[in-house]
Amino acid sequence: MTTALINGRVLLDDGFRDDVAVLVEGGRIAAIVAGDDARARNAERIDLEGGALVPGFIDAQVNGGGGVLLNNMPTVEGIRAIARAHRRYGTTGLLPTLISDNVEAMRAAIAATREAIAQGVPGVLGIHLEGPYLAPARKGTHDARVFRTPDADEIALATSLGNGVTLLTLAPEQLPVETVRAFVSRGAIVAAGHTAGRYDEIRAGLDAGIRGFTHLYNAMSPLQGREPGAVGAALEDRDSWCGIIVDGVHVHAASLRVALAAKPRGKLFLVTDAMPMVGADDPAFVLYGETITAVDGVVRNAAGSLAGSALDMATAVRNSVHLLGLPLDEAARMASRYPAEFLGLDDLHGRIAPGYAADFVLLDDALAVRATWIAGDIARHAA
């Protein structure tokens, strides 16, 4: 059965087109054809009613959603609930993210992610282990009591997923450079984050295979005149990617515009760093035995540190348009194509092109999500 998505503004590689139809077969994009092509006329047709059809959003940092925190519910059911909650906001691919924890929690989260992928839970692409190899001075809401240096067995565990992407955030100055290389050689994508490292220490990590930076500017040594720090290393490096949280709280819009000017196009991508209140009615959750509550959309722990966010990906895209002045096509790429490239998934995800996964988001004129598709399966959403 062929489905034709018609009468929309479709984001292709060269920008939006309103004269094409997208043909979907077997969960993949079969072809992009003229709107009046016979194949589109003869297919089962879905009228997009003039909305913007963009590639499905990919979120590399999702701690929770739908009332669930991965640390507290490292099960297939927990991951399913998180993915379901974020789909409503356009996220068709995500990495459930484990905040620094003990080995048992890490083992459970990896096993649950492996099984979720095996069961085909929609949207699950792998796992993000944010810590526990971090710097106490830049711990944010992480519990420094679980920070440690991994031995060979733990390196093997952290890279044992097998059937999906493993993203690992670490502070390069906290580990021997050989350990960073070991993670990379075993297939992990390694990002620097929660780091107090000097510029030369971050540079050594990049040379060892670090591919990107976790929530640029947040929980990392700042750019200063005589010590560029992690931020300076990130902005200077032409090859690395940087995740950014565009919620108007984590980073000033001017600082984000500086990053956009400094980095090559395609090297900044959107993340939410979302906590359980996304897609849930309860603004509170428990982390490390402490109750954390979002107040006016800002999530902080008792010490006043930002504790993730209440951000969803559709709002991040809207904020990129309204706060940063980006055109919608570029904001959408920052939520789809660029994270796919960072994660090495750009042969199947992040574009509307023949052969790619039929993962889409339909946005209305207010940039609210009206429908999502994962592998061609549609879910409609109220405005």
Ranges of each domain in the chain: 3-50+352-380, 55-342
Is 130 annotated among the ligand-binding residues? yes
CATH topology of domain 55-342: TIM Barrel (3.20.20)
User: Helices marked H in the chain — which ranges?
Assistant: 38-42, 76-87, 103-119, 152-158, 177-185, 199-207, 229-236, 253-262, 313-322, 328-334, 337-342
Mean pLDDT of the chain: 97
pLDDT over 80 (residue 256): yes
The pLDDT assigned to 144 comes to: 97
Query: What is the DSSP secondary structure assignment for residue 148, as one 8-state letter?
Result: -
Instruction: Calculate mean pLDDT across residues 239-247.
Output: 98
Instruction: Calculate mean pLDDT across residues 93-105.
Output: 98
Write the single-letter amino acid at 86.
Answer: H
Q: Give tens-digit pLDDT for 7-60.
A: 999 999 999 999 999 999 999 999 999 999 999 999 999 999 999 999 999 999
pTM over 0.95: yes
Is 306 annotated among the ligand-binding residues? yes
Is 215 annotated among the ligand-binding residues? yes
Whole-angstrom CA distances from 149 to 35, 109, 328 are: 57, 19, 42
Q: What percentage of the chain carries pLDDT values higher than 70?
A: 100
Beta-bridge partners for 91 = 57
In terms of phi and psi (left: phi > 0; alpha: psi -120 to 50; beta: otherwise), the region of 295 is: beta
| CA–CA separation, 296 and 318 (whole Å) | 18
Is 86 annotated among the ligand-binding residues? no
Q: How far apart are the first and last CA of the chain?
A: 29
| CA–CA separation, 260 and 365 (whole Å) | 25
CATH topology of domain 3-50+352-380: Urease, subunit C; domain 1 (2.30.40)
The pLDDT assigned to 305 comes to: 87
Is 233 annotated among the ligand-binding residues? no
Q: Looking up tokens 């000017």, which residue turns up?
A: 261
| CA–CA separation, 53 and 1 (whole Å) | 21
Q: Which residues are catalytic?
A: 273
The string of DSSP letters for 17-77 reads ESSEEEEEETTEEEEEEETT-HHHHHSEEEE-TTPEEEEPEEEEEE-EETTEETTT--SHH
Is 250 annotated among the ligand-binding residues? yes
